[in-house]
A = this chain, B = another copy of it.
């Protein structure tokens, strides 16, 4: 398993709302940024995944907000690949402040399809991508298959 560094992100002014805090929808976007940064660190840039004709719709996403992030803050996003089946990939996120405050936790489930929507056999068709994802997961792949 390759170690992935947290994704560092400063808050942008336009991400705040009239409550004076970062609007909750932006954390969902930050999670995408962190996911893409993670893939790049693992050696499979998202551009490359798309270039190979793999279509990756988001199947599920969610976040729990514990503390508000403000303009001027910098956060670190820790991404973890929890489950991977070749068909979809479930990741969790922790958004943490510079002082260690846990601001937000979140999750996403991404699917892998052929462009156009057909089923993709990742292990067979793109074994290199399959391996990179699979090697990051602690949980056994087989057990996840049963659950999904």
Q: Are B19 and A14 in contact (CB under 8 A)?
A: no
- As a 0/1 sequence over residues 54 to 69 of chain A, the CB contacts with chain B under 8 angstroms (1 = contact) are 0101111111110010
Are A65 and B60 closer than 8 Å at their CB atoms?
A: yes
8 Å CB interface, A22-43 against B:
23-26, 28-29, 32-33, 36
- Interface contact A16-B14, CB-CB below 8 Å: no
Contact of A23 with B14 in the complex, beta carbons under 8 Å: yes
Are A65 and B59 touching (Cβ within 8 A)?
yes
Nearest B residue (CB) for A24 = B58
Instruction: Say whether A145 faces chain B, with CB atoms less than 8 Å apart.
Output: no
Query: How many residues of A sit at the interface, in one of the four size bands?
Result: 20 to 34
Picked from B14, B24, B29, the residue with its CB within 8 Å of the CB of A12 is B29
For A60, the chain B residues whose CB sits under 8 A away are 62-65
Closest chain B residue, CB of each to CB of A107: B62
Q: List 11 A-B contacts (CB under 8 A).
A: A13-B18, A14-B23, A14-B29, A24-B28, A25-B25, A25-B26, A47-B71, A57-B68, A60-B64, A61-B63, A61-B65
Q: Give 19 A-B pairs besides A12-B29, A14-B25, A61-B62 with Cβ atoms closer than 8 angstroms.
A: A13-B17, A13-B36, A14-B23, A14-B32, A16-B17, A17-B18, A21-B57, A24-B58, A25-B25, A25-B26, A25-B32, A28-B61, A45-B72, A57-B65, A58-B65, A59-B65, A60-B63, A62-B62, A62-B63
